[in-house]
Chain A
Amino acid sequence: MEPNGKNIDHAIYIATLLHRLHEGDPLAPDEQEAIAAWQAANGDDTFLQNSKAITDELRRLKNYDTAGAVKTIFGQLGLAVPSRVRRMDTILRWSAVAAMLLVIGAVSVLYFNRPPNNQATITHKPKPILPPGGNKAILTLADGSAIVLDSARNGHLALQGKTNIEKSDGQLMYKNAATTTETLYNTITTPRGGQYAVTLADGSKIWLNAASSLKYPTAFAGTTRQVELTGEAYFEIAADLSKPFKVRLNGMDVQVLGTRFNIKAYQDDTTIRTTLLDGAVKLSAATAGESLLKPGQQATLRPNQRRFTIREVNVNNAVAWRNGYFAFENEDIYGIMKDMSRWYNVDVEFSSHSIESKLGGTLSRYQNAEDVLQVLELTGSVHFSINKKKIIVMP
């Protein structure tokens, strides 16, 4: 069935009813039936009960140049833009205010009637089923003690040898109070649905994506700077020719001068992807030899290949996650769902293993998983259902 005039008009009718319902307007039995039938066929749209999502959307609408559009349209039609729309305007303004107050009223009713300190009764604002991840991580200090960073207060966090650790929102910063010869190691680990950034003692900054871990010295005493990564991270390495920077991965090393690059090395991906934004890095792996990467290139290391595969890519896609986006270019659905699974802390099941969708596009990763899936569904080439904390992917 194609969307046609008739069912599109019906969708408008349903929206009108849902809005009236939300305003606390009593609905006639046949109107209630129409809503029930719609929900039975299309599901209850939780987006419409998400006040935050709706106000976000409303704020976004104000950014469009509506006055400019009026000018263009009237210009093309050869009409003069009316100076005022007074009569209709005043009547409508009052009916609009009434409608708005009904909305505020509905919220007030819920607010004033709720028992104190019982958040669970705010039924007009259901939690999204699959909210996005956020700044969460665990820091393991040199003595093995662990600090949960999402709940730890901002400010001074700990002292490691002669290095102070400061915490601000979503970020750790290591600052040497004095030179030291002692090498202590800390490890920062993000869970699924977590991300965190660390500024090391040499000024290098590293952003850790979800389900990842980085082990690093609290101060760089020796002649090299070496860290260990599992999962995905974006690096901005402070230049220091006298102390080369090295990232150790499972089965591969990356040698760095001053540079910016992204490494994606999840154990369950089997491949390791290194993407260079600028500077230079040298990759080496026992299985694939050595390779020098130039800016704009991405190297892929696969377990059964005896050399790195190097290609030119849009580097922005590789670091989109750090800027709050999922960015895919001709990416298969399996890779996309792995990213979703890590960021939304959700399991993914494929109803069939012959789904061959390749998708591209850019989406905010700070929206709920439901909303991301809905956009992917618009391609018509893949469908989803959500069962508790599991996404089921269907052709």
Chain B
Amino acid sequence: MTIVDEEMLTRLSEGDPAALQLLVEAYFPILCRFAEKFLPDSSLAKDIVQETFIKVWNNRPSFENIMSLKGYLFTLTRNGCLNLIRSRERQENKHMMAAAGHPLETGSVLTEIVRSEYIARIYQVVQTLSPKMQEVFYLSYEEGMTVRAIAEQLQMDVKAVKNQKYKALVALRSKLKDSGEPLLVLLTFLMR
């Protein structure tokens, strides 16, 4: 479950600017990180990523599915970086940085895309949470911490941490009745 899903794609192809905004918010940072693997200069990397979104908007009716839209984001970003490096090399004929100037190895690029997309999916989730919930998320995720430990870390009382989880869960139960077993199993753990 992420924000950039099939519904978003439909809206994008219909020309809804809100869909573009969501797409940028979800993918701009991770694409910048990806571009910086090729280009040391982060402001150039940023420009290329912005250019990528402009091209996506201009080609918006052409995506078959969400996977090809995301693939297009990474492909355009990568090509943008490589083109810039090539044109610079011609101009300056100089060494740039480690990642620049050499043909990139296919396996590494694909591994990097897998990592980036994996992180992008988590990032979209985290971004929708309140700052407090984000902290709870990081601590749970990073440390496998107990509710008590999280409360101590955040200087909240245990009840408040449980409350945060509880409020989310009550709402979830009514919104996602049909979501099946994993969530029910989960509820029992979170209610301890």
A and B part of one assembly: yes
Residues of A within 8 A of B (CB): 1-3, 5, 7-9, 11-16, 18-19, 24-26, 38, 41-43, 45, 47-48, 51-52, 54-55, 57-64, 66, 69-70, 72-74, 76-77, 79-82, 85, 88, 92-105, 107-112, 122, 124-125, 328, 330, 358-363, 374-381, 383
Q: Which of A47, A73, A358, A359 has the most CB of B within 10 A?
A: A73
A5, B110: Cα distance in complex, Å:
11
Within 8 A of A (CB), among B42-63: 46, 49-50, 53-54, 57
Give how many A-B residue pairs fall within 8 Å (CB-CB): 272
CB pair B111–A66 under 8 Å, yes or no, is no
With both beta carbons as reference points, the residue of chain B lying nearest to A86 in the complex is identified as B18
Considering the complex, give the chain B residue whose CB is closest to the CB of A376: B98
**Which of B25, B133, B141, B146 has a CB less than 8 Å from the CB of A103?**
B141
- B168 near A48 with CB under 8 A, answer no
Q: Which residue of A lies closest to B103 (CB)?
A: A380
Give Cα A99–Cα B175 distance, bound, in whole angstroms: 13
Which of B110, B128, B182 has a CB less than 8 Å from the CB of A92? B128
Secondary structure dominating the interface of A: helix
Residues of B within 8 A of A376 (CB): 98
> How many chain-B residues does the 8 Å CB contact rule pick out?
94
Interface residues of B (CB under 8 A from A): 1-3, 7-8, 11, 17-22, 24-25, 28-30, 32-33, 37-38, 40, 46, 49-50, 53-54, 57, 67-68, 70-72, 74-75, 78, 95-99, 101-119, 121-126, 128-129, 133, 136-138, 140-146, 165, 168-169, 171-172, 175-176, 179, 182-183, 185-186, 189-190, 192
A70 adjacent to B125 (CB under 8 Å): no
The 25 listed contacts between A and B (C-beta, < 8 Å) are A3-B106, A9-B67, A9-B68, A11-B113, A24-B182, A42-B114, A51-B143, A51-B144, A58-B119, A60-B33, A61-B33, A63-B29, A69-B46, A69-B49, A73-B20, A73-B57, A82-B17, A88-B7, A88-B18, A98-B179, A101-B169, A103-B137, A105-B190, A358-B95, A362-B97
Beyond A74-B21, A111-B145, 9 additional contacts (C-beta under 8 Å) are A8-B110, A16-B121, A76-B50, A77-B57, A92-B128, A95-B1, A98-B176, A108-B186, A361-B40
In the assembled complex, the Cα of A88 lies from the Cα of B46 at a distance in Å of 27
Interface majority SS (helix, strand, loop, mixed), chain B: helix
Residue of A nearest to B119 (CB): A57
- Give Cα A58 to B122, complex, Å: 8
Cβ-defined contact, A380 with B22, below 8 A: no
> What separation, in Å, do the CA atoms of A125 and B40 have in the docked complex?
31
CB distance from B34 to the nearest CB of A (A): 11
Which chain A residues border B186 with CB–CB below 8 Å? 101-102, 105, 108
Residues of the B chain whose Cβ atoms lie less than 8 Å from the Cβ of A51: 141-144
